[in-house]
Structure 1
Amino acid sequence: MKPSNLNVHSIETMGAFDGPGIRYVLFLQGCPFKCQFCHNRDTWDTAINKIKTPEEIFADFNRYKSFYKHGGITVSGGEPLLQIDVLIELFKLFKSHNIHTAIDTAGGTFNPNNTEKMDILMQYTDLVLLDIKHMDESAHQTLVGASNKNILAFAKYLNAIDKTVYIRHVLLPGITGTQKQLFALREFLDTLSNVKQIDILPYHTKGISKWKTLGFDYELKDLKEPSKEEIYEAHDILKTAYIYKK
């Protein structure tokens, strides 16, 4: 695959939950994380799926552009930052036409000791949807198969450059939805001044069938979806009197 091409998993042309307005959502192939609760298990593999150039993506976007007057493009995954070189070129193209750009990322590829490419990408990025999965290092290792240090470093980096961020947190009962974990996350968020929205995403079991179809064992198959009370509690802990509401 040439560096000028994107390895695409799929495209959603009418995304309503991936940034402001109606959005063109580009899901890229490949992810370095191995989240036990992932509902897009088929995006992990970095093998070539569908190859698209930035120009082809832009042309496809323009087919539906009348719907995106108050929206834009969101690049998700998998993990979009695995393809940062071409992502820069894609966003350069979209920003040259004054189109709002967003990245939905877990931040796991971020290297705080080498931010040169990230600095460039952020020049063309309007919004980062950052998924913080767990604040405890050991629990994060178990849940995701990797450290959370670079994710938290990425959050601090985005705060330092004053990049607009929406935080996303998947609520898993007894794992990410405990009071201890939620208060730890809230304490961390209170150190940031660039977070404009907090999205609590209740865990769902819809991805289990996909794991089974792909021939993989779903480790959290006995985990139940959160109750309304658990969801309300998470909203109360994470959102009450948060700075972005001021």
Structure 2
Amino acid sequence: MVSSYFTSLFCCSSSTSSGTKADQTKPSRDPPTALGSSSSSQSRNRTEGAPGHVTCHADTMLGPIPVGALFADASRQEAPRSSAAFESLPRNARFDSLGPRDRVKMKTTLQNLTTRFVMELQKGKVFLKLGRNGRLFYRWCTIDAGRSSFSMNVKGQIVEYPFSQIQSVRFGFDLSDFFQVPLSMPSESLGGVLILNDNRRLNLVFSSPDERDQFVSCMLVLLADHRMRDKA
């Protein structure tokens, strides 16, 4: 289990879900449509109002990570499993109680982890989305070059979720907008959820707790970075 310092990193909460194994719920067999595979796949759903198309920049670097902003309202919730990238960080400590050296170490770790995450998502990556009907769907996901929008390829069209419209990112599942509670669910340790400003939930299922931890952590960093840039 992760140490309490990781629990205090982010303001997040786990939502209600069943604890059955992930392989009990099989995803839809519809394969994801890769970006750039055809002209039709470049068509865009503009209902979310986000800018520009997704491109890959291998040398993308983040600005200073606003770590302090991430911990300002941190609350103690059920801890996820530990990711290898965080093992060298001080344990059992809140960020505001760390010394200067440990703060620099934590910021550097988050900086490197998030930079690699952005590079990977700009190329595109497949995640499983848990639909409100309880079914699992493969979704080709990306982050745009400006680090301002998270996108999903849904049946050949790009649906964008700008960070300005994302309220929070949390560990676990949130089924509050589901039509009914699924009879079987992936493990809570594999779940992450994006909560939008209009109260919609995007529940994602990951291949491992480490992948889930990385996604939620890096998305929180990018969300905080976007908000700081908006205020500047």
TM class, shorter-chain normalised? under 0.3
TM score, norm. by length of structure 2: 0.22
TM score, norm. by length of structure 1: 0.21
